[in-house]
Chains A and B, each alone.
Chain A
Amino acid sequence: MLAVAEASEAPSGAVWFINYLNAEFERLDDSARAWGQVPSSRPSRFVVVETAGGTQLTPVTYAVRLLVSSWETTTPKAERLAARVNALAQAAPRQVVGGVQCRAFESAGLPYDMPDPDAKVPRFRQNIVLHFRGQLL
């Protein structure tokens, strides 16, 4: 009998983090919402989460790097929103969203000021790394 290797599929860290942030923003009665890209009807306070690569740690575990941008109407407000996102990211380990549990958080530096060059809208960016276990196919 042939041994069949089990295939493991990485979860989408960006989708997980967007859903996690939106649940937390609601819980905190915060008007901010997270998206995968800048929404067409641009709100004054929002977060964009993009996948920026990562590493497969073992055959079934993944470290997903996310590029997270926090937009607000003023630079101090954008900085505070980014700090809130950072705090929520640090609290992500052991949280379960959509049946997927985040296993660890790695800081890849604190948020930094990087306004959008076209819109000139205040924006803080940060890179974070979240660990997940893949789903066996």
Chain B
Amino acid sequence: MAKSKIKLNSSEVRRVLKSREVQADLVSRAERVAAVAGSGFEVRTNIGPNRARAAVVAVSSKAQRAEAKSGALSKALDAGRG
């Protein structure tokens, strides 16, 4: 049987990874993580050369302390699954 060969179209893959749909999915996941982590955690997004990104950042001293004391953000990561 002949082997199939798949060749990805890199520019199209980049377009998908930067698409509004992917951005919306990333923001939704990051917002869930931020909500579970608690107050003072904010979602930040940017679009890099190859893909969109979302991050959850501790912007208040209370949130930074919550991460330092109990790992509030580290323990909230699973909220971004699914």
Task: Please list the residues of chain A having a beta carbon within 8 angstroms of any beta carbon in chain B.
Answer: 50, 52-55, 65, 67, 114-118, 125, 127
Contacts and interface: CB of A to CB of B under 8 A. Distances in A.
Contacts of B71: 50, 52, 67, 125
Interface string B41-71: 0000000000000000000000001011101
B3 interface: no
B74 A127 contact: yes
B14 interface: no
A67 B68 contact: no
A33 B76 CA distance: 27
B44 to A, nearest CB: 19
A99 to B, nearest CB: 27
Interface SS of chain B? helix
B17 interface: no
B76 to A, nearest CB: 8
Nearest to B61: A117
A68 B40 CA distance: 23
Contacts of B77: 52-53, 65
A114 B74 contact: no
Those 8 A-B pairs whose CB atoms lie nearest each other, nearest first: A53-B78, A52-B75, A67-B71, A117-B68, A67-B74, A52-B74, A117-B65, A114-B68
